Amino acid sequence: MTHRDKTGTVCSLKIVTLLVALSPELLPLGAGVQLRDNGYDGLLVAINPQVSEDQNLIPNIKEMITEASFYLFNATKRRVFFRNIKILIPATWKANHYSQVKQESYEKANVIVTDWYGAHGGDPYTLQYRGCGKEGKHIYFTPDFLLNDDLTAGYGSRGKVFVHEWAHLRWGVFDEYNNEKPFYINGQNQIKVTRCSSDIVGMFVCEKGPCPQENCIISKLFQEGCMFIYNSTQNATSSIMFMQSLSSVVEFCNSSTHNLEAPNLQNQMCNLRSTWDVISDSIDFNHSFPMNGTALPPPPTFSLVQAGDKVVCLVLDVSSKMAEADRLLRLQQAAEFYLMQIVEIHTFVGIVSFNSKGEIRAQLHQINNDDDRKLLVSYLPATVSAEAETSICSGLKRGFEVAEKLNGKAYGSVMILVTGGIDEHISDCLLTVFSSGSTIHTIALGSSADKNLEEFSHLTGGLKFFVPDKSNSNSMIDAFSRISSGTGDVLQQRIQLESMGENVEPHHQLKNTVTVDRSVGNDTAFLVTWQTSGPPEIVLLDPSGREYYTHDFVINQALRTARLWIPGTAKPGLWTYTLNNTHHSLQALKVTVTSRASRPAQPPATVEAFVEKDSTSFPHPVMIYANVRKGFYPILNATVTATIEPETKDPVTLKLFDDGAGADVIKNDGIYSRYFFSFAVNGRYSLKVHVNHSPSISTLGHSLPGSHAMYVPGYITNGNIQMHASRKSLGRSEEEQKGGFSRVSSGGSFSVLAVPAGPHPDVFPPCKVIDLETVKVEEEVTLSWTAPGEDFDQGQANSYEIRMSKSLQSIRDDFNNAILVNTSKLNPQQAGTKEIFTFSPKLFTNGPEHQPDGEMQESHRVYVAIRTIDKNSLKSAVSNIAQASLFIPPNSAPVLAREYLILNGVLTAMGLIGIICLTIVVTHYILNRKKRADRKENETKLL
């Protein structure tokens, strides 16, 4: 790209920025929520199409966010509020003069309203898959939460709950309660309830009413039937991330009110920092200042939008660049696959091709049956042009013309742009694209594709893909398979079960199996593609032993595809396919299997693959994620493998884990994660994820993942216990939890810059340990954690550095000067292995430890952290801090916390007073008796 063209692109982007500043309604969907002049613009709320229409739902959403805006403004000390919100109405609801969608879609929503419930009822929750201070994925609310006013007694007002979840989503803070560890022993050996701040008070309640603490906590175990109930009236003003339901709570915990010792996720994930400290360090707060004066901000404005007819236009490159590496053939095969199998019924589809200028090949045609699909396939380009020049802008402008034929505008339409060429004037149409109201998905072919192609996706919130020039890569078909209608209705979308491609030697075969599980099976199709001449010899075996052969497939010799539709619902179980290369030359043989949900009310297992960010620079790694779930339940114990294909060099395979270690933030949340840093070359990389699950392993998690707003079961009001109604919960049948499955999903593409040309020194340290735990065993402390690697979470590290302290703050702020534990016999294991290490903290039993302020402190707690070192002395970040009780002699016991000591103290004092009084009476009596005896003796002597 010339200097002039780069300048043009920058200028166009500046104009786009100016337009957004003038009118936030023009905010590009790819930009997400933006903060401007203390107000958030671009927040999108989407209602799932399975949710029944209710006239109260939309007003309640508006009321919730309006209340949240003012509450958030005060909680952030006049920093931020909500200005503009869009609510996406499902197409399944009746039209009611809603505005036409532009680039809004269900998948792009920040807040989702959906009808599925978890084990904890309809808890509002936020899916957080990254670390402290990082944005989450979505906030989820159920219609029951939004419509049932009885639930506000336990959750608090909906606006306050929204702020709780917004802090999860936007600022990456975590919950300050812990249902798994409702109490802990602090540094003064006191039993404390897990809370923030510590000033929030209440009492223990047993089955028969209020009871002493010692009746609920026996041998450090919380007794069944006991719970801690908080007072409804409090003086504490924090924290929103602990108990937003309290009327007194109006702010986040800060450094002065934060409970460092509470065993909650906020302390574990954020290195004991308060929520307010994390929020204050966010980009939002670095670029904004408190508003002057005392006036409140204006209430939010709401726009209601609804999708109309679905419109898709294929915008396909036919320049001479498409003659390279069989690009045109692979494009034809993928486009036919999309038209015949993926695009949903009743969609309007058009086709445009372009080289130096655009050409309309097919005006919009609605798909109502297979004949419509076949007709559109016939309009696909059959040859490439002699021209090398590509005008991407010309192709897009023709695409907009096609889309505008239906309703006069391209609003809500989708462009699938496929090109391997360069357009030196790509900046000329950025404003046209920006204002079109169309979403553009880009597919870059080979290393020659324009480096600025993805700008179209960024501006419009579209997906972006990369297809390497490798004959055995199935990534073109995978890209088309990932592009759905964006309605969020997984029951109607096609699901990819298999994607396989191999270069097969003459007279050799490609053989594999694919699992068709009970949740899918409708409209199942097997697609086979090849490179040259006739089809391979195909044998397909279903679970009952029935065989299908090549002659059972529908052959398209021109496009070199063979397709088999399975009538009715495909038999569940293992399907085995064999492709024999009967030719005398090497053949690239590929197999794709897709299906749809088999049951109308039960969602099938799905996988969504994505990366943390679109681009990176060496040596910073890329975080790869795969969200594997059934409905909204996480699927556990799956085998998840990522395949990463660079522009050149061989693909890299990487196993992803959901173990709460390394790149994976939370264990068993259904999000499988891994670091990727094996960068071979600069340029684009393609991502694909395979998921397989054994039928013998339990599949579904017992609860919804993510960070949940706390539901308070009851309060103490004027000394009386007032319990709230239990929440709605739906169980799951055993059948839903059994059975293996196979899934495949493209994760799009990302780009890498600054990769050294030759060998480079080791620059990758071990990753941080985030799951360190301590277990007290007699007089020894046992540590447990997941082993990091030599490089991030791969390989085998060289050594561990373990340090401990009796001061929590000391080990956090000054790890290097904490007491070093002897680890000479501890050798790191392979990354991902569970490590166990036991040591005796005798140093801590020999007297008090000096604190940073010079004071002496007796403590019965030990705090431990760990750092990993590789063979080149590169060190990881310090781990989360674990804590354990030191050995306590048999004649001592944990000290009861302040709120439970008062009664015991009074009783003890009264007892002591009674003993003293009794002693005085007895002494007085004895002395009087002695005096009388002495008087008698004296009288006798006188006589």
Catalytic sites, residue numbers = 165
Six token digits for residue 528:
């086979």
Strand partners, 885: 861
Q: Are 448 and 422 in contact (CB under 8 A)?
A: yes
**If you search the block for the tokens 């997400």, which residue do you land on?**
32
DSSP assignment, residue 429?
A: G
**If you search the block for the tokens 């009611």, which residue do you land on?**
96
In terms of phi and psi (left: phi > 0; alpha: psi -120 to 50; beta: otherwise), the region of 133 is left
Which residues, in sequence order, are CB contacts of 245 under 8 Å at separation 6+?
A: 154, 155, 156, 160, 710, 712
Q: Are 81 and 73 in contact (CB under 8 A)?
A: yes
How far apart CA 609 and CA 607 sit, in angstroms, is 6
Give me the torsion for CA of 274, 278, 279, 282, rounded to 10°.
Answer: 170
How far apart CA 45 and CA 135 sit, in angstroms, is 17
Q: Are 838 and 802 in contact (CB under 8 A)?
A: no
Strand partners, 654: 642
SS3 content of the chain, % helix, strand, coil (to 5): 25, 30, 45
Q: Give, to the nearest 10 degrees, the angle between helix 57-75 and helix 158-171.
A: 70
SS3 597: strand
Integer angstrom CA distances of residue 384 from 335, 426, 469? 15, 21, 17
**If you search the block for the tokens 């199942």, which residue do you land on?**
524
Which residues, in sequence order, are CB contacts of 326 under 8 Å at separation 6+?
A: 471, 531
How far apart CA 486 and CA 311 sit, in angstroms, is 12
**If you search the block for the tokens 């109006």, which residue do you land on?**
250
Q: Are 485 and 345 in contact (CB under 8 A)?
A: no
Is residue 372 within a helix (H) or strand (E), and if so which, with residue range?
helix 370-378
- Beta-carbon neighbour count of residue 73 at 10 Å? 21
Six token digits for residue 439:
């979403």
| Residue closest to 708 by CA, chosen among 127, 132, 304 | 127
How far apart CA 370 and CA 502 sit, in angstroms, is 30
Which residues, in sequence order, are CB contacts of 918 under 8 Å at separation 6+?
A: none
Is residue 396 within a helix (H) or strand (E), and if so which, with residue range?
helix 392-407
Is residue 731 within a helix (H) or strand (E), and if so which, with residue range?
none
Q: Are 384 and 324 in contact (CB under 8 A)?
A: no
How far apart CA 905 and CA 909 sit, in angstroms, is 6
For residue 143, the one-letter residue type is: P
How far apart CA 877 and CA 867 sit, in angstroms, is 6
Integer angstrom CA distances of residue 167 from 398, 712, 824? 43, 19, 43
Which residues, in sequence order, are CB contacts of 200 under 8 Å at separation 6+?
A: 230, 234, 236, 242, 243, 246
State the number of CA atoms in the 13 A half-sphere of 941 facing the CB: 6
